[in-house]
Copies of this chain bind each other. A is one copy, B any other.
Amino acid sequence: MTTKIGILGYGNLGRGVEKAVLKNSDIELKAIFTRRNPKDLKVNSSAQVCSVDDIENWKDKIDVLIICGGSATDLPVQTPKYAKLFNVVDSFDTHANIPQHFSAVDEIAKSSKKIGIISVGWDPGMFSLNRLYANCILPDGKDYTFWGKGVSQGHSDAIRRIDGVLDARQYTIPVNEALEAVRSGKNPELSTRQKHTRECFVVLKEGADAKKVEQEIVTMPNYFADYDTTVHFISKEELDKNHSAIPHGGFVLRCGETSDNTKHLIEYSLKLDSNPEFTSSVLIAYARAAHRLNKEGQCGCKTVFDIAPAYLSPKSNQELISTML
């Protein structure tokens, strides 16, 4: 079965989905929808580029719409809105607001008889799945999530807003000693400072005061004050040359006991050259699932917790059993 998809939004994530399609022979990219003037959009595929205003015309031409907007303002509006017309998949990642987003999408997807899969990616997404599986197997245990090494877009943006800063890139780095303490089965209590450090590469504007900028970064509440933060001042050329990639990753661990002094450690980790390309690849797998579930007559909002793993694969159940079980 082929799944025909559309992409809404052509930023890092949208371009990632466009690339991921090339690795999945059963997925066909039909259209890219944009709020910009379609003529101004240079895309890397033969997909039709359309104004989002014309999206309703595609109602019967695509099986799933992958919504590649941001979680702050785009997705809370777009995902419910387009669940009226399409099966939709998004990567909504504002953890605290997921219940509200779920309800909004669920109500509309149920009335339109479509599937909406929200919060797909790696965290939320694959990390969530691993937390869930590990908790079900080891109910008596303790969870740990570490992020990095990777670029935090939010923290990079926060530095860029400081007076005197031209550009910046921030890396979140897990503390190896903390990771090893968890792996050793000690079930440590770890403070924010003990789990991650932050490393910043900053390009100053001409005449800016480096000491002052550094002070403003390391004392910034919520973003940096609770962490050991290192600041490096570099040239714009150096930033562009060595820090233009968007790597990320992290670790989900659970250590638990099944009886006295009988411990078990479950560890899942990701090391990603490109955060948006990996997230996009997860979105594609769940787009396939959305299409199949809807074909079976299911509707409403789902998360990764609600999807049986076999739905993500283009292979038949028999093939899966004989090659992967």
Residues of A within 8 A of B (CB): 16, 19-20, 22-24, 95, 98-99, 102, 119, 124, 126, 128-133, 135-140, 183, 258-259, 261-274, 277-278, 280-282, 285, 288, 303-310, 312-313, 317-318, 320-322, 324-325
Chain B residue at smallest Cβ distance from A19: B259
Q: A99 and B140: CB pair below 8 A? A: no
Decide: A321 and B309 in contact? CB cutoff 8 A: no
Complex Cα gap A313–B271 (Å): 28
Q: Kindly report which residue of chain B lies nearest to residue A128, judged by CB atoms.
A: B325
Contacts of A305 in B (CB 8 A): 308-310, 317, 320-321, 324-325
Question: Given A119-B325, A264-B270, is A23 in contact with B136 using a C-beta cutoff of 8 Å?
Answer: no
Among A133, A261, A263, A288: residue with most chain B CB under 10 A: A133
The answer to whether A271 and B265 have CB atoms under 8 Å apart is yes
Q: How far is the CA of A306 from the CA of B309 in the complex (A)?
A: 6
Which residue of chain B has its CB nearest to the CB of A260? B19
Known: A129-B309, A320-B132, A321-B303. A258 touches B270 (CB 8 A): no
Measured in the bound complex, the distance between the Cα atoms of B266 and A109 in whole Å is 32
- In the complex the two chains form, is B309's CB within 8 Å of A132's CB? yes
**CA A4 to CA B269, docked complex, whole Å:** 35
CA distance A162 to B309 in the complex (A): 44
Residues of B near A138 (CB, < 8 A) are 23, 281
Closest to A16 in B: B258
A322 CA to B119 CA, complexed, in Å: 12
A285 touches B317 (CB 8 A): no
User: In the complex, what residues of B have CB within 8 A of residue A258's CB?
Assistant: 16, 19-20, 23, 274, 277-278, 280-281
- Distance of A272 from chain B, by nearest CB (Å): 5
Q: Within the complex, which residue of B267, B309, B318 is in contact with A133, where a contact is CB–CB below 8 Å?
A: B309
The 4 A-B residue pairs with the shortest CB-CB distance, nearest first, are A136-B312, A258-B277, A305-B310, A265-B271
Q: Which of B130, B308, B321, B324 contacts A99 (CB 8 A)?
A: B321
Tell me, in angstroms, the Cα distance from A135 to B315 when the chains sit together.
11
Q: A322 contacts which chain B residues (CB < 8 A)?
A: 98-99
Q: Check B278–A312 contact: CB distance below 8 A.
A: no
Q: A264 and B278: CB pair below 8 A? A: yes
Residue pair A273, B262 in contact (C-beta under 8 Å): yes
Which single residue of chain B is at the shortest CB-CB distance from A141? Answer: B23
Query: Which chain B residues lie closer than 8 Å to A140 at the CB level?
Result: 23
How far, in angstroms, from A259 to B21 measured CA to CA in the complex? 11
* A313 in contact with B135 (CB, 8 Å): yes
Shortest beta-carbon distance from A29 to chain B in Å: 15
Query: How far is the CB of A64 from the nearest CB of chain B, in Å?
Result: 15
Docked CA distance A317–B23 (Å): 33
Q: Are A132 and B310 neighbours in the complex by a CB distance under 8 Å? A: yes
Which residue of chain B has its CB nearest to the CB of A18? B259
Q: How far is the CA of A261 from the CA of B119 in the complex (A)?
A: 27
